[in-house]
Amino acid sequence: MKKLFLLFAVCLSVSMLTVNSYAQLIDNLDGTVTQVRIDGSQLMWLKDANAAQGSGYDPFGDGMMSWYRANDWIASLNSANYLGHNDWRLPATLPVNGNTYNYNQSDNGSTDYGYNISATGSAYPGSTGSEMAYMYYYELGNKGYSDTSGNYAQPGWGLTNTGPFTNLRPDYYWSGTEYADWPDYVWHFFFNGGRQRLLGKGKDDRLYAWAVRSTAVPEPTSLILLGTGLVGVIGLKRKSH
């Protein structure tokens, strides 16, 4: 009976979370962290943000590697069905405005190149276009080297909050998104100053890599029906006693 009540409570909690989605990070206690973003979409990140260290894909054993090696590392995770999943990828960098890229430099998050992308108080607060910018600014609440008015070295800037993650480096991380007009370049994000920009795929450029995957959002109706069914089961058990 206690187990049924516990299961019902969990289902009810999840259904409420789904109906009233809000940003949060959930440690799954299995080496992954689920991120529920403000728009209700969900991602699953490796809890170790430098899991590639010592993988053999990082030439110097520090977790830093070329973009090509980073993709090879991701492929190895998928081949091994790592942690029960085969759809790992590098973080995506999509337009902050939800439509088209703007490659001009900005400090107020109004473009895809610069600081404060998706940050609170920016031009597009809570934009989920850039998965790493959203994580750094909106989810973890870190500050960029520049504030939204263009004042540099703002107080408290840098990677001051890493949330439930381990080994999140205050350094550059690869995105899996290529520059559409020039595929020799890809997006990357600086997890210290909070700057997003493009970088060539040169084999000598070594950045960190963080694996993430998209996850399906539970259907509220299904969860509520499950909870209703559990209420019925609990009621029957009470009558039988």
Chain centroid to Cα 32, Å, comes to: 11
Residue 20 predicted with pLDDT over 90: no
Q: How many domains does the chain have?
A: 1
Question: Is 106 within the bounds of a domain?
Answer: yes
pLDDT at res. 23: 63
Q: Is residue 84 part of a domain?
A: yes
d(CA 148, CA 117): 10
The stretch 100-108 carries a mean pLDDT of 98
- Domain assignment of residue 61, yes or no: yes
Enter the pTM of the model: 0.83
The answer to whether residue 232 sits within a structural domain is no
Query: Is 223 within a domain?
Result: no
The tokens for 190 are 């600086």
Tell whether the model's pLDDT for residue 227 goes beyond 60: no
User: Does residue 140 fall inside a structural domain?
Assistant: yes
Please tell me the predicted confidence (pLDDT) of residue 183: 86
124-141, pLDDT tens digit by residue?
999 999 999 999 999 999
Beta strands, E only, the chain: 24-27, 32-36, 42-46, 105-106, 113-114, 172-178, 185-190, 196-200, 212-215
Residues facing 105 on adjacent strands: 113
- 176-206: per-residue pLDDT in tens? 999 988 889 999 999 999 999 999 998 789 9
Q: Are 96 and 117 a contacting pair, CB within 8 Å?
A: yes
In a domain, 237, yes or no: no
Domain region containing 100: 22-216
For every residue of 48-78, DSSP letters joined together read BTTTTTTSSSSTTSSS-B-HHHHHHHHHHHH
What's the rounded Cα separation, in Å, for the pair 69 and 9? 44
Residue 225, domain member (yes or no):
no
Going by their DSSP bridges, the two strands 172-178 and 185-190 should be labelled as: antiparallel
